[in-house]
Chains A and B, each alone.
Chain A
Amino acid sequence: MTTKLFGAKVPRVEDQRFLRGQGRYVDDLLHDDPRLLHSAVLRSPHAHARILDIDVSDVLDVDGVVAVWTYDDLAGAMAEPLPLLIPHPTLTHGRTQYALAKDEVNYVGEAIAFVVAVDRYVAEDAVARIRVDYEQLEPVVGIAAARAAARVVHDDVPDNVGARMEQENGDARAAIAAAPHTLTLELDVERSACTPMEGRGTVARWDPDTSRLTVWSSTQTSTGVRGCVAAKLGLDLAKVDVVTPDVGGGFGVKINHPWPEELLVPLAAMTLGRPVKFTEDRREHFISSAHERAQQHHVEVGFDDDGRVLGLNVEFWHDHGAYTPYGLIVPIITSTQLLGPYKPQNYRVAFESLYTNTVIVTPYRGAGRPQGCFVMERTMDAIAAYLGKDRTEVRSTNFIQPDEFPYEHGLVFQDGRELTYDSGDYPASLAKLKQLVGWDEFEDFRAEMAAQGRRVGIGLACYVEGTGVGPYEGAHVHVETSGKVKVATGLTTQGQGHQTAFAQIVADTLGVRFEDVEITTGDTRKMPYAVGTFASRAAVMSGSAIHLAALRAKEKALRIAAEALEASEDDLEIVDGVVSVRGTDASIDLGTVAVLSNPLRYAFDEASKAATQFSVGDPGKPPVAEDDEPGLEGKDFYSPARSTFANGMHAVIVETDPDTAEITILKYAVVHDCGHLINPMIVEGQIHGGVAQGVGGALYERMAYDDSGQLLNASFMDFLMPYVTEVPTTIDIDHLETPSPLNPLGIKGAGEAGVIPSAAVFAAAIEDAEGFPITAMPISPSELFELRLAHANDALGG
């Protein structure tokens, strides 16, 4: 083998297209098709209301309007609620919305009517002419209102509680009662959202000649969308193809499916016999796609003189919005991943998942972990402060040690499997982080800054992330007679660099040139069995499947080549697409092997002519042996017993302005362990993006709902996604590579990691600078100012 690509900083080949504006996104598709129709959605202006009447009589008068749908126009499965994708026994009161609202709306933005017209302008004109009579109901906004349950979201859920769940390992309450020291914390995290550059979008075309529906959707799961579309529209699965083109970011919001428009667009395309497109605009994305993060936690912890946690009891309340299409994934992840790299002797967690009259909550990058990390790390900092110990020391005392893996927590994870960590070396990671950020030198720096009248603080936060959840992914590797290698895997790509990272795996495993490998993702025509891209699973799941499939193709190539070259398979090697007998001149191109693998009757190209010099097969036997098939292909699936657990630690030094309360990042350091790195450049890019998104979540972004359930900042003017000027100019990154024993490549997921510890690490650093507890995130300068006032008043005995 020549240069090994696995582990190399191979530049992302897809960036050539993306950076030159040559990406092809859903909204680019069928752009020039004169038959294409466009759509717009009438959305509820009220957070909670009964729909008394919908009058669409003025709509069809608008020139250019083709059709309008309301709930009354839906039939069959389309008239049923949208699926509850991930049921759970404790989700006793799960509710999902209808594709178009039936009788009632439960959040501002809920879809009520769907208009199809010659262009989006006309469709929006028509939407403005639909008259709806509402009986307004009192809305439930925020966790406090949901818990109080003076008003309810759904009449048949009288306490607003969709689910109650509890898990316990040991006896946490007894352990706390017996502990030498105890602390209680109340902690809050507010709502935020993924806000990818590209919102949702769907295009559908019905082909009457073949009775076949093609749907292009900006999704994180084309197979999931396909299943839903077929079921809802009453089509055979074989009649539906779903293709995911370039996707301009997902971050979780596009794993939920089907969105109403993902069904209404195909329905309209079939009904009208013309292609139909829906492209979500930014305001729609804020009020009708998913949010996440809002939780309130009550923590009781008992610990010994060293800061060792003897018992931890966490109760929390999770705001899941108006409906629960994605089940309890987010709060279950919070409740289990809260533990991070620590081993409390006894742990109990109980949560309630609550209805509110706000946008639904589904996983957003980190998926409940940022909240859990915030809670656990705030607890560690509180213990350290109470005991007067260094914060890193308290963490070290509680770490799971390298010789304790696999480590069983005695809990059940989000995938229904035991929460068992496979590998890690937390003390080594912490040692690297302390060095990277200059932990031990910080007090000198603080004094130096203080002498200049400047106020600085340092914080750290540790997390463990269950990545690569099952059930499976598959891959198909096909070596064409040209020697080019076409690889398909079913999960989707929304900017991760799969073309590059997966091609690196294929190039190494199969022994072909990197540039000869083409990866197709998210196309149900190429790979109908797949799950999706979420939970930092693509590299682990599809990466492993691609490796296994490439091994199968290689095995077959060696078998055929051995026969053709009259050599033993053991003496063969494949380098740059050429199979050769080691130490001799005898060789055969992989493309020629592909020709030989397919006993065709016709020779129609140079490759087949070139193959005629070799003879394979026994003339006395069938051209295709009983246990063989034509073609040089390999197909395989990877299905792990459980998730693999990556980990990392972040530290930040911030400056808080004594006068203006502005918060400035002086240094940001990351130590990350996701096992073997396929492409360190891509992993670092994921960390950079995650940290940037985390800065947004910690210091800038929130969903500003007023008491009536109106989202006051449904635009990028007022939802403060950080600009490049707000994120650190440098992020110091160091890697530890503790391989996972669970997959053939020893890899772990990396996609979400960068964002997980942000709230925790910034809270810690600001607390360190200011000297009073930070218990709620995000935090703005205005809030820091108000906290200073409150603590100054406290200090004065006010």
Chain B
Amino acid sequence: MKPAPFAFRRPATLDEALAALAGEPGAKVLAGGQSLVPLLSMRLAAPSMLVDINALPDLDHVTASSEGDEAGVRIGALARHAHVLASAEAAQVQPLLALALSHVAHPTIRNRGTTVGSIVHADAAAEMPMVLRLLEGSVDVASVRGRRTVPAAELFAGPLESTLAHDEIALEAFFPSLPDGGGVAFQEIARRHGDYALVGVAAVVQTEGGEVTGARLGYVSVSDVPVVVDVTDALDDPAAAALAELEPTDDIHATAAYRAHLVKVLTPRVLADAIHHARERSAQRKKQ
């Protein structure tokens, strides 16, 4: 369990980092290392170079804004899960972040692992790629060729595969805020606390005067990419609508049938939680 040989760079500026990546087609970016390092140790990945971005400045921010078009939470590439989870502002602007992050692994892993790193690792069993997709967020990326913003809907190509080019570094993830009348919820079932979920479900709903005008659900571990299902027109049986879009499979921990069953159990619960949350928020707003 020792990695194959690789070159190691720890650049001090973004330009140096981007140049290093551009110059080495087999290079990989190292941020928190919570997924990459085990892959290296088991020799499931053998990049020719690691470009460690931990010395880059100005990437460890978690900023929340509740005003204007830019209302949402911006998370820098070096912000650790624990940092995001601890941000009261972020939880205020987009409560789904903290709900989901509390299910990401264990405190020791959250202390090192980065939220942006988890997103671009693109594991369909991970919470944060799905949350970004459900909230229709985006990721800002940079390369020697310039910068661009990738919407979440265009970010996930397949199992453990994002659409980022090999020379691109994800600098920041943007999670839109939860609008007035909105509510969110998250639940998952895992074999052990902190494990990857057997099934995880998140919901974001929009209400007007207490009535649901929009409802979308995001799923973890029941497809090979994060899946989002709009159930606004299927509120009487949202699980059936979701299952039509999902592809639960057998693995050593659960049968496909059990996963489908959990989708049926969790979906109405999470949807109800989100609607409840939306109504509670609206009620509180009125009081204020």
Contact = CB atoms under 8 A, between A and B. Distances in A.
- Is A bound to B? yes
Given A125-B4, A662-B189, A723-B192, 14 more contacts: A120-B2, A128-B43, A660-B189, A660-B262, A712-B252, A713-B252, A720-B195, A723-B193, A725-B193, A780-B253, A781-B254, A782-B253, A782-B254, A785-B261
A124 B192 contact: no
Contacts of B253: 718, 720, 780, 782
B4 A723 contact: no
Contacts of B257: 785-786, 789
Contacts, number: 63
A660 B199 CA distance: 11
A757 B27 CA distance: 52
B209 interface: no
Contact of B1 (A128, A282, A662): A282
A125 B191 contact: no
Nearest to A714: B42
B149 interface: no
B252 A281 contact: no
A722 B1 contact: no
Interface in A456-496: none
A283 interface: yes
A345 B258 CA distance: 44
B194 A700 contact: no
A121 B189 contact: no
B194 A723 contact: yes
B45 interface: no
Q: Mostly helix, strand, loop or mixed at chain B's interface?
A: loop
Given A700-B192, A780-B253, A786 B258 contact: yes
B191 A700 contact: yes
Report the 9 A-B pairs with minimum CB-CB distance, sorted nearest first. A725-B193, A782-B254, A281-B1, A782-B258, A704-B252, A121-B2, A785-B258, A659-B265, A124-B2
Nearest to A284: B1
Interface string A654-676: 00000111100000000000000
Interface in B10-46: 42-43
Q: Pick the most buried of A121, A726, A781: most chain B CB atoms within 10 A of its CB.
A: A781
Interface in B271-286: none
Contacts of A722: 192
A786 B255 CA distance: 8
Given A782-B254, A789-B257, A121 B5 contact: yes
B179 interface: no
Contact of A121 (B3, B42, B262): B3
The CB with the most chain B CB atoms within 10 A, among A128, A725, A782, is that of A782
Q: Which interface class (under 10, 10 to 19, 20 to 34, 35 or more) fits B?
A: 20 to 34
A789 B5 CA distance: 51
A121 B253 CA distance: 33
Given A283-B42, A718-B252, A780-B254, A726 B5 contact: no
A283 B44 CA distance: 13
Interface string A681-724: 00000000000000000001000100000001101001010110
Contacts of A128: 4, 43
16 contacts: A121-B2, A121-B5, A124-B43, A704-B252, A712-B252, A715-B42, A718-B253, A720-B195, A722-B192, A725-B192, A726-B192, A726-B193, A780-B191, A781-B189, A781-B254, A785-B255
A85 to B, nearest CB: 29
Interface in A315-363: none
Contacts of B194: 723, 725
Contacts of B192: 700, 720, 722-723, 725-726
Interface string A114-125: 000000110011
A534 B35 CA distance: 38
Nearest to B269: A659
Nearest to B42: A283
Contacts of A700: 191-192
Interface string A486-527: 000000000000000000000000000000000000000000
A660 B265 contact: yes
Interface string B237-256: 00000000000000011110
A78 B176 CA distance: 67
Nearest to B258: A782
A664 to B, nearest CB: 12
Nearest to A784: B258
Nearest to A661: B258
Contacts of A718: 252-253
A237 B200 CA distance: 60
A120 B3 CA distance: 10
Interface in A114-161: 120-121, 124-125, 128
A722 B255 CA distance: 21
A124 B46 CA distance: 13
Contacts of B191: 700, 720, 780-781
Interface in A593-635: none
A789 to B, nearest CB: 7
Contacts of B193: 723, 725-726
Interface string A173-198: 00000000000000000000000000
A226 to B, nearest CB: 29
Given A662-B189, A726-B192, A782 B255 contact: yes
A282 B2 CA distance: 11
B258 A781 contact: yes
Contacts of A726: 192-193
Contacts of B261: 785
Nearest to A726: B192
Contacts of B265: 659-660
Contacts of B258: 661, 781-782, 785-786
A708 to B, nearest CB: 14
Nearest to B3: A121
Interface string B154-194: 00000000000000000000000000000000000101111
Contacts of A661: 258
Interface string B63-95: 000000000000000000000000000000000
A662 B190 CA distance: 10
A281 B3 CA distance: 13
Interface in A702-752: 704, 712-713, 715, 718, 720, 722-723, 725-726
A402 B198 CA distance: 50
Contacts of A121: 2-3, 5
Contacts of B254: 780-782
A726 B193 CA distance: 7
B287 to A, nearest CB: 32
Nearest to B256: A782
Contacts of B2: 120-121, 124
A718 B198 CA distance: 12
A665 B148 CA distance: 51
A120 B1 CA distance: 9
Contacts of A723: 192-194
Contacts of A713: 252
Contacts of B42: 283, 715
Contacts of B195: 720
A120 B41 CA distance: 12
Contacts of A283: 1, 42
A661 B253 CA distance: 13
Contacts of B4: 124-125, 128
A125 B4 CA distance: 6
B50 to A, nearest CB: 15
A662 B1 CA distance: 34
Nearest to A658: B265
A453 to B, nearest CB: 14
B110 to A, nearest CB: 15
A191 to B, nearest CB: 13
A167 B195 CA distance: 46
A662 B258 CA distance: 11
B60 to A, nearest CB: 27
Contacts of A780: 191, 253-254
A659 B268 CA distance: 12
Nearest to B41: A281
